[in-house]
């Protein structure tokens, strides 16, 4: 037989605990009166709350303030993080833009150097052309400025420089287009510019105002520059001759032709066929008599012929 014993332990509440329990259990009635002083509603609130309302209110306000502070802190932190991220992105964008501008500036500097070298090359080429023109007794294609001066501006404007050189090169191109250069017919020169013996009597001297180039009848004769036809036909001792008026006072004559291929008033280009080689006029055999004039003065055509 088994026996079970149960022992009950009773804790006697202390006086202080009993007072707390009594206060918690005690309630105080609060009567709400209307405007007439009549009782409208009555509510009961634990007496302990009324006795300790300052402490409860202070604790409540403290917790409310803490909660508000936490909310404000979290909101501020979130906003701050967002602003920081946006600022970081903007800084990165600015840094990329700065790098891009640096690359662009370096490229522009490189382009500026390249353009300056190109302009210097053009100037050098023009100086060489002018030197050759002077050597041949011809005028410069890009003459020096006279009665000019002024302070030097160090600032360089690529756009203005480009326009200047474009205009200058167009002007030079136009001058060169109307400047008699080259050979009107490929052949052996049989008589040069200057005094010579009379080819018919072989006696005495006569002035030969051009050069004679040997060839066969019917071979093409080409203009040495662009210009306008002022004569195409028979003209005394020249026989059949084509006379071309060029720009800047230049004129060329192609004599002793067998046929002419152009008409008076016609505009022609450099290298265009204007007639065929012949033996008309004062001639001892098939050849081309070629003359070059500058403002009416006859010059040695060999100085402008590029062999």
Q: Across residues 271-293, what is the average pLDDT? A: 95
Band (50; pLDDT cuts 50, 70, 90): low
- The DSSP bridge pattern shows strands 227-234 and 194-197 to be unpaired
pTM of the full predicted structure? 0.52
DSSP state of 71: H
For residue 288, report the phi and psi dihedrals to the nearest 5 degrees: -110, 130
DSSP state of 240: E
Which carries the bigger pLDDT value, residue 209 or residue 140? 209
Residue 88: the pLDDT is 72
- By C-alpha distance, which of 257, 221, 219, 227 is closest to 241? 257
What CA–CA distances, in Å, run from 250 to 162, 164, 228?
30, 26, 11
Q: Which two tokens stand for residue 286?
A: 């098939």
| pLDDT of 14 over the 60 cut | no
Q: What is the pLDDT of residues 162-180, one digit of tens each?
A: 777 677 777 776 667 778 9
- The mean predicted confidence, pLDDT, of the chain is 77
Tally Cβ neighbours within 10 Å of residue 257: 27
Residue 23: the pLDDT is 56
For helices 158-177 and 53-135, the axis angle rounded to 10 degrees is 20
**E strand or H helix that includes residue 85:** helix 53-135
Q: Which two tokens stand for residue 112?
A: 């500026």
């Amino acid at each position: 037989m088994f026996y079970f014993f149960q022992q009950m332990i009773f804790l006697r509440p202390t006086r202080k605990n009993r007072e707390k329990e009594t206060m918690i259990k005690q309630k105080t009635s609060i009567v709400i009166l209307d405007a007439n002083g009549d009782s409208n509603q009555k509510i009961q609130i634990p007496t302990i709350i009324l006795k300790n309302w300052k402490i409860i209110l202070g604790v409540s306000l403290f917790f409310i303030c803490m909660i508000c502070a936490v909310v404000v802190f979290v909101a501020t932190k979130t906003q701050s993080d967002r602003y920081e991220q946006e600022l970081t992105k903007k800084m990165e964008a600015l840094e990329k833009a700065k790098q891009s501008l640096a690359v662009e500036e370096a490229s522009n500097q490189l382009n500026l150097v390249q353009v300056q070298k190109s302009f210097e090359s053009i100037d050098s080429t023009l100086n060489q052309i002018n030197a050759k023109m002077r050597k041949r007794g011809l005028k410069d294609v890009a003459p020096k400025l006279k009665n000019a001066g002024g302070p030097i501006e160090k600032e360089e404007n690529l756009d203005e420089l480009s326009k200047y050189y474009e205009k200058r090169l167009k002007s030079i191109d136009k001058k060169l287009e109307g400047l008699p250069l080259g050979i009107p017919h490929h052949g052996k020169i049989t008589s040069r510019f200057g005094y010579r013996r009379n080819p018919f009597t072989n006696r005495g001297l006569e002035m030969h105002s051009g050069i004679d180039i040997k060839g066969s009848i019917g071979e093409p004769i080409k203009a040495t520059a662009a210009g306008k036809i002022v004569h195409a036909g028979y003209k005394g001792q020249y026989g059949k001759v084509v006379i071309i008026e060029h720009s800047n006072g230049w004129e060329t004559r192609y004599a002793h032709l067998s046929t002419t291929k152009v008409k008076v008033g016609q505009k022609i280009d450099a290298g265009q066929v204007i007639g065929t080689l012949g033996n008309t006029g004062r001639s001892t055999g098939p050849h081309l008599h070629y003359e070059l004039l500058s403002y009416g003065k006859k010059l040695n055509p060999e100085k402008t012929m590029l062999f």
